[in-house]
Amino acid sequence: MSNVHHTPVTTPVTPFGAIEGTHWIETLNDGSPVLIRPLRPQDRQRETDFINRMSEQACRFRFLGNLKEASPALLDQLMDVDDRDRVAFVALAHDNGELREVGVSRYSASGDEKQCECAVTVADDWRHRGLAVLLMRRLIDIARKNGFRTMFSIDAAENEPMRELAGYLGFRRRLDPDDATQVIHALDL
């Protein structure tokens, strides 16, 4: 009779419970944990709630115009991801016992399939914690893996937070030749 001891296998416990699929649990600059994962079809209501909670300025910066609420057509567009030409990552955090979307980054192929346009948005109450940097780094990594050569963003010239983030991440900035109120940030991948 052998004395074989079996060590039980335990799954590490996360602040988010058991999670399936590709995901990362990151700690922000203030110690807050967030779950970052690809956007899924079942996130549609979270995305709606996220947009509806955005401040007027955040909506103007994100959508380059005024947005009163997320229309079904806009949500259809935002939820249309394919893991190659249209990619989105959501950041989720606990809020009163519910997982709430607190940030999102996304890109969409543009033009010659070597370029993609990106965007990142962080909930007003989650800014200045490093979340936008984490979301954009995930997005940049997957864009590189998917063969894109350039990532760009078209932003309001007055969008100081995006100017700072883009500069920090190594994007070049230039005025939009078609609209003096906008700038184009571009990153060689």
Residue 5 has pLDDT above 60, yes or no: no
Residue 103 has pLDDT above 70, yes or no: yes
Confidence (pTM): 0.84
User: What secondary structure letter does DSSP report for 22?
Assistant: S
Specify the pairing of strand 86-95 against strand 33-38.
Answer: antiparallel
Q: 167 phi and psi, to 5 degrees?
A: -65, -45
Does 127 map to a domain?
Answer: yes
As a three-state string, the secondary structure of 30-70 is CCCEEEEEECCHHHHHHHHHHHHHCCHHHHHHHHCCCCCCC
Give pLDDT, residue 98: 85
Does 157 map to a domain?
Answer: yes
Q: Are 69 and 53 in contact (CB under 8 A)?
A: no
Give pLDDT, residue 156: 85
Does 125 map to a domain?
Answer: yes
Number of domains making up the chain = 1
The residue among 50, 179, 33 whose CA lies nearest residue 119 is 50
As a three-state string, the secondary structure of 109-136 is EECCCCEEEEEEEECHHHCCCCHHHHHH
User: What secondary structure letter does DSSP report for 82?
Assistant: -
Give pLDDT, residue 53: 82
Does 15 map to a domain?
Answer: no
Q: How confident is the model at residue 20 (pLDDT cuts 50, 70, 90)?
A: low
Average pLDDT over residues 114-130: 93
Give pLDDT, residue 51: 83
Does 39 map to a domain?
Answer: yes
| β partners of residue 154 | 184
> Whole-number mean pLDDT of the chain?
85
CATH number of the structural domain spanning residue 105: 3.40.630.30
| Structural domain boundaries enclosing 146 | 24-188
Q: 124 phi and psi, to 5 degrees?
A: -50, -40
Does 126 map to a domain?
Answer: yes
Question: Highest mean pLDDT: which of 62-66, 81-85, 107-111, 184-188?
Answer: 184-188
Average pLDDT over residues 138-161: 93
Does 5 map to a domain?
Answer: no
d(CA 22, CA 158): 35
Helix or strand (DSSP H, E) at 100: strand 98-110
Residue 124 has pLDDT above 70, yes or no: yes
Does 99 map to a domain?
Answer: yes
- Residues 79-91: tens digit of each pLDDT: 999 989 999 999 9
